[in-house]
């Protein structure tokens, strides 16, 4: 098999399991945090800066995801697991700024979590892992789009950056922003992010104080996560048991 076909085949395989990359990040984070001495705790300003940066990047990533999802029509592969699909080629709105906005958003969200660990090693190695993983997925997606849309895809790809946003050719989205789409499709991402921050927070507490008890759970990250999980369960129930969040022409 030609190398280009192997690359595409692996990308398609990774596409199906792209939701598991946080697991790999945590496998890196646990030993890295265990070996850290958390000197930055001595300086409250340094720790505050870490928290602010972590929340900034994660929130920015979620905002990009929300806008992308809220302006995406039915028939795209946003949360599809079985394989690539696209009834139309998105070239307006955020897709006129960057070709893979959801992957950019995912990286920023998990960059925030990586920064929150306080480990430069986690940020560097986690970022490298992310790019190696998603580069193959993006390659396989673009091969699929090029086959399906031909010259239309080629023209769009030539003037639109793959991952680093460029605002030179901004075009207004053809699809009206829908808050319902965001609520229906993004509650799980917000929940996963909250759980991840809580995991890092509790893990750091354990490694720092060498103890863990029920009192340890009396932390802001635990309360925020509990609320987020409860909200996600409510929204999931509404989504599957009612038609309140349904919209015509939306996934």
Q: Which domains does the chain have, with CATH numbers?
A: 3-174 (1.20.120)
Burial class (CB in 10 A: 0-12, 13-18, 19+), 225: buried
**Whole-model pTM?**
0.87
Confidence of residue 35 (pLDDT cuts 50, 70, 90): confident
Q: Average pLDDT of the chain?
A: 85
Which backbone phi and psi does 165 adopt, to 5 degrees?
-60, 140
User: For 236-251, what is each residue's pLDDT tens digit?
Assistant: 999 989 988 887 766 6
User: For 202-237, what is each residue's pLDDT tens digit?
Assistant: 988 888 888 777 777 889 999 999 999 999 999 999
**pLDDT (mean) for 42-61:** 89
User: For 135-158, what is each residue's pLDDT tens digit?
Assistant: 888 888 888 888 888 899 899 999
Confidence of residue 78 (pLDDT cuts 50, 70, 90): low
% of the chain residues with pLDDT over 90: 39
% of the chain residues with pLDDT over 70: 84
- C-alpha distances (whole Å) from 142 to each of 53, 80, 89 are 32, 16, 11
**SS3 labels along the chain:** CCHHHHHHHHHHHHHHCHHHHHHHHHHHHHHHHHCCCCHHHHCHHHHHHHHHHHHHHHHHHHHHHHHHHHCCCCCECCCCCCCCCECCCCCCEHHHCECCHHHHHHHHHHHHHHHHCCCHHHHHHHHHHHHHHHHHHHHHHHHHHHHHHCHHHHHHHHHCECCCCCCCCCECCCCCCCHHHHHHHHHHHHHHHHHHHHHHHHHHHHHHHCCCCHHHHCCHHHHHHHHHHHHHHHHHHHHHHCCCCCCCCCC
User: For 167-201, what is each residue's pLDDT tens digit?
Assistant: 888 888 888 888 988 999 899 999 999 999 999 99
Q: Is the pLDDT of residue 80 over 60?
A: no
């Amino acid at each position: 098999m030609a190398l280009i076909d192997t690359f595409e085949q692996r990308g398609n395989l990774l596409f199906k399991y792209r939701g598991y990359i946080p697991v790999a990040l945590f496998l890196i984070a646990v030993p890295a945090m265990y070996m850290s001495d958390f000197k930055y705790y001595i300086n409250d300003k340094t720790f505050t800066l870490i928290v602010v940066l972590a929340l900034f990047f994660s929130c920015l990533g979620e905002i990009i995801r929300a806008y992308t999802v809220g302006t995406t029509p039915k028939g795209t592969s946003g949360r599809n697991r079985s394989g690539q699909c696209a009834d139309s080629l998105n070239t307006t709105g955020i897709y006129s700024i960057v070709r893979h906005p959801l992957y950019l958003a995912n990286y920023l969200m998990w960059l925030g979590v990586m920064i929150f660990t306080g480990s430069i090693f986690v940020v560097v190695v986690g970022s490298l892992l992310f790019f190696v993983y998603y580069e193959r997925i993006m390659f396989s997606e673009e091969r699929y789009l090029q086959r399906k849309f031909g010259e239309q895809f080629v023209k769009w790809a030539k003037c639109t950056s793959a991952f680093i946003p460029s605002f030179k050719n901004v075009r207004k989205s053809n699809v009206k922003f829908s808050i319902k789409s965001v609520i229906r499709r993004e509650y799980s991402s917000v929940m996963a992010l909250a759980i991840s921050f809580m995991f890092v927070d509790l893990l750091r507490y354990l490694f720092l104080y060498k103890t863990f008890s029920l009192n340890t759970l009396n932390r802001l990250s635990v309360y925020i996560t509990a609320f987020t999980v409860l909200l996600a369960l409510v929204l999931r129930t509404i989504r599957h048991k009612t038609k309140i969040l349904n919209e015509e022409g939306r996934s």
